[in-house]
């Protein structure tokens, strides 16, 4: 079984639920992908890191860092950064806060001192529905002077997120779409 198929098995076992759920976007859904159940699993984190790092490696321009919004992206950015180190091409991770730090530096972005000025970066997320979280991250990252070169997710729920990101000029790369993970809508 290849890495992608193994990750699919883990996602189906650990993260996918049927029922009635209210999503972050406020939408009601008949299924839920609790990505953290897989991304916080040792094997799941490693596989996510490998597959997202492959997107970074394949990108036509070198990417200097990987980041995302806390909490969903925290295990992912760490996994990708660790995989990059194991592959002897280390890239730092950074985390975007939901609110600016209320003390000390007042930063929205943790780890930004590890990034060169104007760096071209990758943004990752565990699950994308409407794309709202990633759009916020893009705005905050660009406000700090960085450029977004890649936006990627483990699961695209196929509920408008890819279109919203594309409308802003950021095509979404996904390891799995809803259809690939659990079948059609």
Specify which residues 16 forms β-bridges with. Answer: 33
Give CA–CA dist 105/101, Å, rounded: 7
Give CA–CA dist 102/124, Å, rounded: 25
Here the tokens at position 62 are 């070198």
User: What are 19-31's pLDDT values in tens digits?
Assistant: 999 987 888 988 9
SS3 (DSSP) at 2: coil
User: What are 129-171's pLDDT values in tens digits?
Assistant: 999 999 999 999 999 999 999 999 999 999 999 999 999 999 9
Give CA–CA dist 118/49, Å, rounded: 24
With a cut of 80, say whether residue 104 has pLDDT above it. no
Lowest-confidence segment of 25-34, 38-47, 58-67, 103-112 by average pLDDT = 103-112
Domain 3-182 fold is Rossmann fold (3.40.50)
Here the tokens at position 86 are 């194991």
């Amino acid at each position: 079984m290849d890495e992608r198929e193994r990750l699919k098995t883990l996602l189906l076992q650990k993260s996918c639920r049927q029922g009635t759920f209210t999503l972050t976007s406020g939408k009601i859904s008949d299924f839920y992908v609790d990505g953290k159940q897989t991304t916080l699993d040792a094997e799941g984190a490693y596989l996510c890191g490998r597959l997202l790092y492959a997107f970074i490696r394949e990108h036509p321009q070198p990417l200097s860092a990987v980041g995302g919004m806390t909490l969903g992206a925290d295990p992912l950015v760490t996994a990708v950064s660790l995989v990059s180190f194991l592959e002897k091409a280390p890239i730092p991770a950074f985390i975007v806060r939901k609110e600016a730090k209320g003390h000390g530096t007042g930063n929205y972005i943790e780890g930004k001192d590890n990034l060169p000025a104007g760096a071209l970066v990758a943004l990752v997320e565990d699950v994308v529905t409407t794309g709202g979280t990633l759009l916020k991250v893009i705005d905050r990252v660009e406000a700090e002077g960085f450029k977004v070169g890649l936006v990627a997710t483990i699961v695209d729920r196929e509920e408008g997120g890819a279109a919203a990101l594309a409308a802003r000029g950021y095509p979404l790369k996904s390891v799995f779409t809803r259809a690939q993970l659990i079948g059609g809508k």
